[in-house]
Amino acid sequence: MSLLTGRTAVITGGAQGIGLAIAQVFVEQGARVVLGDLNLDAAEAAAKELGGPDVARAARCDVTGAADVQALVDTATAAFGSLDVMVNNAGITRDATMRTMTEEAFDQVIDVHLKGTWNGVRIAAAVMREQKSGAIVNISSLSGKVGMVGQTNYSAAKAGIVGMSKAAAKEMAHHGVRINAIQPGLIRSAMTEAMPQRAWDQKMAEIPMRRAGEPGEVASVALFLASDLSSYMTGTVLEVTGGRFM
């Protein structure tokens, strides 16, 4: 039997990148998935690629709105009968130095990452506590551990996700719900590969393993936290960084 056979997972920001990689690994391990994303067309295409409606569904979701997140969770329970795993992955960047960052850019990043994760945690937890089981995986970032230049908004939000995960884990542990977080480092994607070569080289020099990570390497850690392999773990933060900033 696969690690997630018979379980249903919701993944925000699931149409591409790390979110889609997580969905792919979950489906390979027997899960049915619901992909939430602002880009419904991309989410529907991804769901089709994953195996169609018997295995994967898509829904448009703006995680900053509780009604959208509730509808996403309702889609999972209506289509597949349960909610066993929630992955709060949706995110954006609006990088700028403090001197040039607008208040709007600060608020947008905090809303999507921090409020969006809070919406996902509390709405999923409300379902999971009734069934006395469930795993929630929150995607933080190495930027939330060390802080990055030009990311006062993003670093603050990602650090906040760590604190939120630990507090929620304490609240939900006796209900049988586990809540953990992942802090990815430099992960290969269209966005990171578009950065200037000098910036890429600087980041690579900070990584003891001397390479960027792949989305699948984050996905495998999400699988571990979603499955019974991590049954005695809650409130933890796992770094997927190649050793950067140990």
- 32 CA to centre of own chain: 17
Query: Confidence class of residue 114 from pLDDT cuts 50, 70 and 90?
Result: very high
Which residues partner with 213 through β-bridges? 187
**Residue 211 · residue 242 · CB < 8 Å:** yes
Domains along the chain? 8-239 (3.40.50.720)
Query: Confidence class of residue 201 from pLDDT cuts 50, 70 and 90?
Result: very high
pLDDT tens across 115-159, in order?
999 999 999 999 999 999 999 999 999 999 999 999 999 999 999
- 41 CA to centre of own chain: 20
Q: What pLDDT score does 196 carry?
A: 87
pLDDT, average across residues 10-29: 97
- For the cut 80, the answer to whether the pLDDT of residue 211 exceeds it is yes
pLDDT tens across 230-246, in order?
999 999 999 999 999 99
pLDDT tens across 166-194, in order?
999 999 999 999 999 999 999 998 778 88
Q: What pLDDT score does 10 carry?
A: 98
Q: What is the dihedral of CA 36, 40, 46, 47, to 10 degrees?
A: 70
User: Which member of 26, 80, 118, 154 is catalytic?
Assistant: 154
Query: Confidence class of residue 28 from pLDDT cuts 50, 70 and 90?
Result: very high
232: annotated active-site residue = no
pLDDT tens across 57-85, in order?
999 999 999 999 999 999 999 999 999 99
Question: Residue ranges of the alpha helices (H) in the chain?
Answer: 17-28, 40-50, 66-80, 103-109, 116-131, 143-146, 152-172, 190-193, 197-205, 215-226
